Amino acid sequence: MRAVKILHCADLHLGARLKNLGSRAAKRQQDYMKTLELIVTVCKEEEIQLLLIAGDLFDSSKQSNELLEEVRALFASIPDTYIAVAPGNHDPATVDSCYEKKGFWSDNVIIFSGEMTDHEIPALGVRLWGAGMTEGYSLKSLFHREQSIREAAAYDDEIQIGVLHGDLISAGGRSEYNPVYKEDIRDCGLQYLALGHIHKRSEPEWEGSCCYAYSGSTEGLGFDETGEKGVYIGLVTKSSCSLSFFPVCQRRFVRCEIDISTVTGTKQAAAFVRSFLQVQQGERFERHLYDIKLKGEQKNIWSFDAAAFLAEFDDVFYMKVREQRQLSCDLEQLADEISLRGIFARRMLLIKDKISKDQFETAVQIGLKAMNGRVDYSEDYET
Amino acid sequence: MAGWTIVKITKLEIEDFGKFHQYQLELSQGFTMIYGANEDGKSTLMAFIRLMFYSNQKSVRDLSNLRKKYLPWGKDTMSGAIELMTDKKLYRIQKSFGATAARDEIDIYCITTGEKLLLPKETEAGEWFFHLDQDAFERSLFIGQPGPVLTYDGKKKDDIAENLKNIETTGDESISAEDVLRRIQEAKEGMVSKRQSSGVLVQSKAREAELFQKIAKMKQTEDDLRLRHEEARDLNRSRDDIKRKKDDLEKQLEKEQEAVEQVLEAKNTLEECRRRSDLQKIQVENEKNILHTKLSMEEEKLTLLKKSEPTAVDKKSVRNYILAGILAAVCGVMGAVMIHKAFLVLLLFSVLSGVLAIGRLRAIERHAKSLHEWQMNISTCSKKILEYREAEEAGKKQELLLKSFEEIQREAEEDLIKKQKIYQFYTEIREDYKSCLRELDVVKQQIFVLLSSFKQPEEGLEELMGEQRVIHERIMEQQEYYDALVLCHEIMQEAADEIRHTYAPKLGQVSGNIFAGLTKQKYQHLLVSKTYDISVLPEGAQYRDGAYFSGGTTDQMYFALRMGILQLLEEKEHKNYFLLLDDSFTAYDESRLELALQYIDLYCKGEEKQVIMFTCHRYLIDLAVEAGILFESKNLRC
């Protein structure tokens, strides 16, 4: 049975400016390019026949000539791999975009633009279906030629594969980014639909006889995108589809809460956190980007020096830390004391039922901490 | 309390005071109820006790001059003695009262040691024994009529306050309320400054507003950009349309041009044909004439020839010659052979015949040849003439054809003139198209310039919206913290106020306990102000002013307060003081009375305590008996 080996990726966002990373932005931009290089290398080594890029390859339609040339060269370096690009909402195929440059891209690159069309690849026995966004929004669904697909599918033993940047929703839903209705996918005739736009990878699922998945972004773009990022590699035949996840990201975003109740000072906290991360993240944990919240309950809260703490993590690519320890106390017991603290505790207990739990606890913590030290709002402190 | 000594009154001896004359009353430890009807001298006794300990009647409440009131009728002096046990020693205080405090004389003896005590100047006995001035005494040990504790005017030194000052806190003196409040305030101002012009929260909100504007602007820009892109696309489409039309037109014009050229070429060709045709005609004519002439000449010749045609005779003679020759030859040869060589002369004969024959033959041949030739010539001529005739015919046909062609040409040329006009029109249109295309190209260029001038903004819309989300979350967090700071500050302020204004908070606690015991209810914290106003803090945050409650409850509260004061004093001095009650429960209903008596019972149990209660209500004693209270009852009798 004929099979085609594919690599499905999306949302590479090359050229993103990453202002939120401050001085690290430049290095991180390099990461994105390295990831694409890795993907291309994998294509060579794994003899990938079809590389599907489901949108947002670039972070915007206008990129520097240097970057474009790099990408063009990378694509051209794997002439035995067909590369299908479906422009997304970040890099739509506008008239002045790099996708409309005539004669720029190498012959193995197929770029879809506008409504869904098909492209035959006889050498692979594949008929490729794709659409490309031509502007940043698309209220209308570009996936609406399913009938044509079905017709094509019925008569050939061509493998039908689709690539699209869009928002998968149920009937009645609405999206500004090329809504793709699940009902339309079902039995549309495609064997596999490579989707892009959602940065969180989804497991391959079936809707009728069509297998579909979001490969997720190839690098996290912020702390709301934690975990391993990568691509799907697999085989698609007329009757089956088997994919496996292959991680490619250079660095991960990691969020963790670490309990430092047993720690007695800033330096010790740093050491504690370091060994914690080493265990949790393994070798080369310092590659990644961290959002650390220091928690815990202590009877005596020693003063936390964020700057000194972070100075112990010069080797880590990026770290931001927030100290959120609580004073442990028995409020009821405290309320019996004849002292400012006691009276405060008593009075707080009296209004406990009138306010939210969170506000109660925060106010109590502030009051108790204020007995010994400052209670300024603590923000994230970053490297 | 273990290790505390009791301070009790053991004996009252009145020499002369009010209606009392040489009166003795012995008092023991524990609860003693002294019953006396209204005029029996209860108040007198109380006053006596008070005066014994304190001469100076600077009491705020007591307006009347006690001395004058109790000065025995008909006497100038009052005197008496009290025996008091304190520090495990028995003392006897003897005093005689003059009209004024200055006239008092007091002697104090320590019976146990036999020593006489000399009071320091200006020091009252009560001050010496109890470390309390009169007001304090009246607020604690000596509970007169029920009601609020004597109000404090704020100017005079409050002895109780002095005494109780140290019992205020549990040793957290290092915590200054001011410092704590300041820290909270600073934290607040760090988030929202006094003038709301700076601070973490203020800045966050400002940034959010800024982002909001930027996003709106960016959206506008993106909309514009999208429009431009659409325009560019439309423009491209129009341009392609027009280009197609122009190309079609060009093709058409080309065709027209070709047609014109064809017509012109046809004209030239036709003219050439005409010329040639005419020329040919003339030629043909000439040739024909020549031929005719030639033909007639040849025909003449032929006639001549025919005349000189060799006859049959001539032909016959040839034959004869040949025959003769042959014969001669044969004879000659045969003769030569057979007869004689002289017959060879016959050969000569044959030769001669032969030559003659040949000559003749030749002449015939020649003739025939000439004949043939002439005949050929004639036939050639005739053929040629035929040909020329045919040529003539063809020429005629050609002429016709040519004429019709010329006709067509003429029409074509007429057409051409019409076509010229259309051609002109098309050319104009083409020029229009061309200029239109040029304009379109200019606009396209402009649009492209505009599109490229849309610099990639510093922050893209997605970035801005992402930042907006982040800021919004941060604002929520910060607002929560700020609200908590505000709340905390409020509560802390209240707590600090409570500490400041509440005089001896411990008193409130202690009194609260007593009050709870007295009312057999849940503990309610009593707040005592510097002016000894009480408020109660029941469930709920609002303190209720003492006046909110019924008289009975208020009495209970104040009773509890006095008991509280007493308790604190005792804690300070490590002594159990006697307690004098002057009908403190007149306003109580039965249930409260019972509770009060039970309280005192409990109070006295298990420790060395002395409680002396004067009452004019018999039922109190009955009630006490019923309730199983342990007490000693005495009757007052002057």
My answer on whether A49 and A173 are in the same domain is yes
Contact (CB, 8 A) for A196 and A13: no
Cα(B527)–Cα(B501) distance, integer angstroms? 9
User: A162 and A78 in one domain?
Assistant: yes
- Residue A172 and residue A46 share a domain: yes
Q: Inter-chain contact B177–A340, Cβ cutoff 8 Å? A: yes
Residue B549: the pLDDT is: 64
Q: What are phi and psi for residue B23, nearest 5 degrees?
A: -110, 140
Among residues B388, B422, B453, the one where a domain terminates is: B453
- Of residues B564 and A288, more confidently modeled: A288
Asked if A242 has any chain B CB less than 8 Å from its own CB, the reply is no
Domain span holding position A81: 3-247
Residue A52 shares a structural domain with residue A84:
yes
Residue-wise pLDDT tens digits, B364-385: 788 778 778 877 877 877 787 7
Q: Do residue A97 and residue A185 come from a single domain?
A: yes
pLDDT band of B486, cuts 50, 70, 90:
very high
- What letter represents residue B381's amino acid? C
Which whole-number Å values give the CA distances from B196 to B182, B185, B189, B202, B209, in the listed order? Answer: 18, 14, 9, 7, 15
Alpha helices in B140-176 (DSSP H): 159-164
Distance CA B305, CA B294 (A): 16
Rounded Cα distance, A165 and A181, in Å: 13
A139 touches chain B (CB under 8 A): no
Provide the pairing of β-strand B5-17 with B575-577.
parallel
pTM, full prediction: 0.58
Q: What burial class does residue A136 get, using C-beta atoms within 10 Å of its C-beta: 0-12 exposed, 13-18 middle, 19+ buried?
A: buried
Query: Which of B431, B453, B475 is a domain's end point?
Result: B453
B111-169 confidence digits (pLDDT tens): 999 999 888 877 888 888 888 877 778 777 877 665 555 444 444 445 555 555 444 44
Greater confidence, A146 or B258? B258
Is B171 inside a domain boundary?
no
Q: What is the mean pLDDT of residues B168-181?
A: 63
B184 to each of A374, B129, B423, B474, how far by Cα in Å?
8, 47, 94, 20
pLDDT at B1 over 60: no
Split at pLDDT 50, 70, 90, the class of A170 is confident
Of A44 and B426, which is predicted with more confidence? A44
pLDDT of residue B540: 47
Cβ distance of B186 and A19 shorter than 8 Å: no
Minimum mean pLDDT range among A141-150, A151-160, B144-153: B144-153
Largest Cα separation within chain B, whole Å, is 258
Last residue of a domain, one of B510, B542, B565: B565
| A72 and A182 inside one domain | yes
Beta strands B105-110 and B89-97 are antiparallel
pLDDT at A341 over 60: yes
Q: Are B631 and B50 in contact (CB under 8 A)?
A: no
| pLDDT score for B156 | 46
Same domain, B543 and B595: no
- Examine the domain organization and report whether A348 and A240 are in the same domain: no
Residues of A in contact with B478 (CB under 8 A): 377
Q: How many domains does chain A have?
A: 2
Give the per-residue pLDDT at A315.
92
The predicted model gives B250-273 an average pLDDT of 83
> Tokens in use for A103?
């004669």
- Provide, rounded to the nearest whole percent, the portion of chain A with pLDDT above 90: 55
Our CA-based measurement puts residue A372 at a distance from the nearest CA of chain B, in whole angstroms, of 8
The chain A residue lying nearest B222, using CA atoms, is A136
Q: B491 and A19 in contact by Cβ < 8 A? A: no
The average pLDDT across B339-343 equals 78
Please indicate if any CB of chain B lies within 8 Å of the CB of A75: no
Per mean pLDDT, which range of A22-36, A307-321, B95-109 is the poorest? B95-109
pLDDT of B246 strictly over 90: no
Q: Domain end: A202, A221, A247, which one? A: A247
Helix (H) or strand (E) run with residue A127 in it: strand A126-132
Residues 274-313 of A with CB under 8 A from B: none
On whether both B89 and B230 belong to a single domain, the answer is no
Task: Say which residue, A378 or A75, is predicted with more confidence.
Answer: A75
pLDDT above 70: residue B510: yes
In the three-class reduction of DSSP (H, G, I as helix; E, B as strand; rest coil), residue A242 is classed as strand
**Max CA distance (Å), chain A:** 90
Give A350's contacts in chain B (Cβ within 8 Å): 537, 539-541
> Which of B104-108, B381-385, B484-488, B613-617 has the weakest average pLDDT?
B381-385
What domain range includes position B555?
Answer: 502-565
Shortest CB distance from B484 goes to which of A20, A337, A362? A362
A212 and A108 part of one domain: yes
Q: What percentage of chain B reaches a pLDDT higher than 90?
A: 12
Tokens of A117: 């069309």
Asked if the Cβ–Cβ distance from B460 to A17 is below 8 Å, we say: yes
Per-residue pLDDT for B543 more than 60?
no
Asked if B506 lies within 8 A of A59 by C-beta distance, the reply is no
Within a domain: residue B557?
A: yes
Question: Are B593 and B620 a contacting pair, CB within 8 Å?
Answer: yes
Inside any domain, residue B395: yes
Q: Is B460 left (phi over 0), alpha (psi -120 to 50) or beta?
A: beta
Higher pLDDT, B216 or B519: B216
pLDDT for B57-97, tens place per residue?
554 444 446 666 776 665 667 889 999 998 889 999 998 88
Between A and B, how many residue pairs show a Cβ–Cβ distance under 8 A? 132
Rounded Cα distance, B263 and B30, in Å: 154
Q: How high does pLDDT run on average in chain A?
A: 89
Are B73 and B99 in the same domain? yes
pLDDT confidence band for A245 (50 / 70 / 90): very high
For residue B84, is it within any domain? yes
Residue B335 lies in a domain: yes
* pLDDT-based confidence at residue B341 (cuts at 50, 70, 90): confident
- As a whole number of angstroms, the distance between CA A85 and CA A130 comes to 8
- For position A291, what pLDDT does the model report? 92
> d(Cα A273, Cα A278) in Å, to the nearest integer?
8
Number of domains in chain B: 3
